[in-house]
Chain A
Amino acid sequence: MMNFPILSIITFIPIAAGVLILMMPAGRKNETRAVALAAATLDLLLSGWVYLQYLTQDMTGYQFIEQYNWLPQLGISLHFGVDGMSAPLVLLTGIVMFTGVLISWGDDNPHVMAGIQDRPREFFAFLFLLAGGVFGVFVSLDLFMLFFFYEIAVFPMYLLIAIWGWVKTREYAAMKLTLYLFIGSVVALVGALAMYWVQYQNTGVLSFDMLVMENAGFSQAFQNAWFLPVFFGFAVLGGIWPFHNWSPDGHVAAPTAVSMFHAGVLMKLGAFAALRVGVMLLPEGAKTWAPLIMGFAAIAVVYGAYIAFVQTDLKYMIGFSSVSHMGLVMLGISTLNATGLTGAGVQMFSHGVMTALFFAVTGMIYDRSHTRMIPELGGMMKVMPFAAVGFIIGGLVSMGMPGFSGFVAEFPIFMGVWQEQWLVAVIASISIVITAAYIMMNIRKVFFSPMPEHLEGHVGDVTVLDKVAIVTLCLFMVALGMFPSIMVPMVETGVGYIMNLLGGA
């Protein structure tokens, strides 16, 4: 069983499917979509299988390990494996990929014009290339390959936003996003190269393997110097304040499925890589700089929530709420204690599913009403009850209501922060109140207030595929909220490994 290369299959299915889709004749839109859906379903099943195996076999440490030589002279290998931290993220990517394809399927009814009508072939190909990159980062145990996949995950975003995005801001947003993320990643890359050579000096081993690098014996001074560029280089993609400002613009300009991917998965990529490369390879540096990161994250949490509160554009509201919720992830990481890190791990999954749902529903509303401005919307409960219920469940998760995944994630984060610095916990918890306020205000306005006249009769219900996507996403949030044991113990095993690196639990 262990020899079956399931992780590389999961990673390369989207890429292979993308190439296959590109080869198909241009006019065959439905066949294109069918291939996309088949690939996404397969990937969801496989990633679900990996997750369940990890969960039920009570595994610890890195599992499903695969290693193939790639460039032995420089110690580069295709080294894949998942632990309790990354297995949920692989599953998350599978979920978002599957629902993203459903949402982009497109309704050929000219009245609705939902989904992707223009060149679906290229759209799915680029989206899948992106997905392949994301899977690759989550399962890579080799630093070089991690960068390789990281960059693959970044650049299709440019095309996806610039071509299929919102006409008004897409060019600006796409370029801004790409440059921000590219700058972040190359800054981190220099740090990684420095780690690589210093390890060579220390141990005489040329290797990009992160499991080897964990024992490289970097000096305190080296770690202090390089932790910040490496951590923040990646954290840019995690949307940390003050490098967050590409993110709401990107969210807003992107087409629905890409927003889902972007906020749901890509931002986790940043947080995950910052944790994997920054904290785990440079633990002493992390200890030195943890207070700074905690401060930045706390600002992101409160500031993001406040900005979300004053937005009148639904997508901007969700975009800034993502900054706030990803701030919680960073806050959890910055505690460097087991409780906080566990919360961060669960929050990555919970927020990914939740924000994907938010963007999906927002996209459905926009496709049918042609507006995202909150004051111009109303009465959606009557016309699209299914989507409305989905949005409300997402809202409850966002507010951290018990019984939903948000609570399971946020509670340990705040506990962890309290252990380190109670004042920060108090300040950050203000965001809970603000979040509750804007979520409830917007639910009332968009779904329950009377429908404005200009929308009356123009807005139809969502399609069956949309409903499948909503149910899929809601299912995971409720299940995790009701039965935290399906994820929390697993994340804890991953955290245990990190705590060892940090020098004792």
Chain B
Amino acid sequence: MFTPLVFASILPEILILVLGILILIFEPFWKEDQRRNAGWLTAGGLFIAMIVSLLFGRPGEAVTVLGGMIRFDWLGFFFKMLFMFAGAATALLLMDHDRAGRRGESYVLLLASLLGMNLMAVSSDLVMLYLAIETASIPLYVLSGFLLNDERSTEGGFKYLLFGTVASTIMLYGFSLLFGFSGTTNLSEIAAMFTTGNISPFVGFGVIILLAVGLGFKVSLVPFHFWAPDVYQGAPAPIAGYLSTASKAAGLAVVMRLFFAALPDFASTWTLVFAALAAITMTVGNLLALPQTNIKRLLAYSSVSHAGYALIGVVAFNQLGATSVVFYLAAYIVTNLLAFGLVMAFSRITGLEEITDYAGLSRRNPFMALMMLAAFLSLAGMPPFGGFVAKVFVFAAGVQANYIWLVIVGILNSIIGVYYYLNVLKYVYLYRMPNEDEEQHPVPLTRPYTIALVVLTIGVILVGTVFAPWFSWASDGAFLLFN
């Protein structure tokens, strides 16, 4: 039963588990001021785990293993690499966080949620899927409420927990209906049952709505997004970045698996539902981002709107659509981690997080200002940064699927986006500090920040220029969804 194939299919997860255990073992022996080293261990360990998985854990033909629980294919593998990359970057960014960074358990929780996300990306069974989602979510509930002395953090964590469990329950109800109608929990078998069975579209619509509510919450689609800004603002900033990228990408991975694999026969219904959700999500997210003065809240609402753009690819429901979603998520993960990382690095030194506080940054730390430029222009969808290519692919998929109206909504929204992203850069580059002596107020970066931010910046540029390899991986992964 435990063949080399099975081993290879869960190799990254095994390594993550080992890493978590290592930290748990070593942590008690470390002195207080050494504990942040768990961050080096986590980031380095994840990096090694990625390399090992790339060498020994690459999938070949798509197969299901472990009694049909896990599907071992390129799509899942690509997502796993993305999540682990995001996890490593988050660990580095967490190290210099005043409170959360000096405690081993934050890294263990991070790894636990990473484990869950990895499994979310490969689940091919409802039971496995639900377990994976909860494994990913519960550590995140804890992490977002980690700062016990901070009211906003505890409030955010509590809110997240409360809404998260309600959404999970609704989704679970959807799962149980799926099981009830098809008599199986295996995704591909469900699809087969629906093809042959005579389920009324009305029931299908109900199930789709239940699933959309649960997953919409994870991905923070409007109108299930209201937790996001409070949680992002309250949570330790690296965790907020992680939530808005990896966790969201994991949600979208599940959306694709579930709807593309299990419910292709209801495509005409769910594409419409998602088209509506995408349009609302983009528009509401952007309009709410527009008046924000706090940069974390701005990023929170902008990340809501980005889920909407990515959803255009899901709505397209074709090969390019799926590829574009995966590509979009890859670009978005590096970009948004970079943006959150910068915000965090800035507020750690200055203690400030209003947009106006960024006045004069281009003189206080020119390199940081350039990285802000890369991050925000990528979010706005400008070349040569990842966001541009990602957006063009998503729009191209939308046009191909004849959802021109949705693409137009997307474009109108990008224009709003350009406005508020440029607005941030205006403070960074144009305005000066009130007393105009920026040289007296430098914003130094510590080593972990520098490593993480530089790697992410290079990533943002690489995704936007040398996009062929990422695209073919994404495409290989997406191909399987239709076979």
Contacts and interface: CB of A to CB of B under 8 A. Distances in A.
Given A74-B393, A144-B392, A159-B425, 13 more contacts: A71-B467, A71-B471, A72-B468, A74-B396, A119-B362, A162-B426, A175-B419, A178-B422, A182-B414, A189-B411, A190-B404, A190-B408, A193-B400
A422 interface: no
A171 B395 contact: no
Contacts of A214: none
Interface residues of A, number: 37
B332 interface: no
A152 interface: yes
Interface string B404-424: 100110010011001100100
Given A148-B383, A182-B415, A189 B395 contact: yes
9 contacts: A73-B472, A74-B396, A158-B425, A179-B418, A182-B418, A183-B415, A193-B392, A193-B407, A194-B399
Interface string A163-188: 10000001100010011001100110
Among B414, B471, B475, the most chain A Cβ lie within 10 Å of the Cβ of: B471
Task: Classify chain B's interface size.
Answer: 20 to 34
Given A122-B366, A179-B418, A183-B415, A155 B382 contact: yes
Interface string B118-159: 000000000000000000000000000000000000000000
A98 interface: no
Interface of B: 320, 362, 366, 370, 373, 377, 382-384, 388, 392-393, 395-396, 399-400, 404, 407-408, 411, 414-415, 418-419, 422, 425-426, 429-430, 467-468, 471-472, 475
Interface in A100-157: 119, 122, 144, 147-149, 151-152, 154-155
A70 interface: yes
Given A144-B392, A148-B388, A190-B408, A171 B426 contact: yes
A455 to B, nearest CB: 30
B415 A179 contact: yes
A246 interface: no
Nearest to A201: B400
A162 B399 contact: no
A196 interface: yes
Contacts of A152: 382-384
Nearest to A125: B370
A189 B391 CA distance: 11
Question: At the interface, is chain B mostly helix, strand, loop or mixed?
Answer: helix
Contacts of A147: 392
A472 B320 CA distance: 50
Nearest to B320: A74
A167 B296 CA distance: 29
A448 interface: no
A69 B469 CA distance: 12
B383 A175 contact: no
A26 B396 contact: no
A289 interface: no
Contacts of B411: 186-187, 189-190
A148 B471 contact: no
A99 to B, nearest CB: 25
A42 interface: no
A175 B471 CA distance: 33
A22 interface: yes
Contacts of B471: 71, 73-74
A190 B430 contact: no
B419 A190 contact: no
A33 B89 CA distance: 37
A197 interface: yes
Contact of A26 (B366, B422, B426): B366
Nearest to B363: A119
B188 to A, nearest CB: 26
A259 B396 CA distance: 34
Interface in A398-417: none
A162 B430 contact: yes
A421 B362 CA distance: 54
A193 B404 CA distance: 10
B480 to A, nearest CB: 15
B437 to A, nearest CB: 15
Contacts of B415: 179, 182-183, 186
Interface string A375-410: 000000000000000000000000000000000000
A336 to B, nearest CB: 28
B430 A163 contact: yes
Nearest to A144: B392
Given A73-B471, A183-B415, A190 B395 contact: yes
A149 B464 CA distance: 12
A175 B408 CA distance: 21
A186 B412 CA distance: 9
A12 B402 CA distance: 37
Contact of A158 (B392, B408, B422): B422
Nearest to B367: A22
A22 B399 contact: no
Nearest to B382: A155
Contacts of B383: 148-149, 151-152
A126 B411 CA distance: 26
A140 to B, nearest CB: 13
A190 B429 contact: no
Contacts of A189: 392, 395, 411
B429 A159 contact: yes
Q: Give 3 closest A-B pairs by Cβ, nearest first.
A: A193-B399, A186-B411, A71-B468
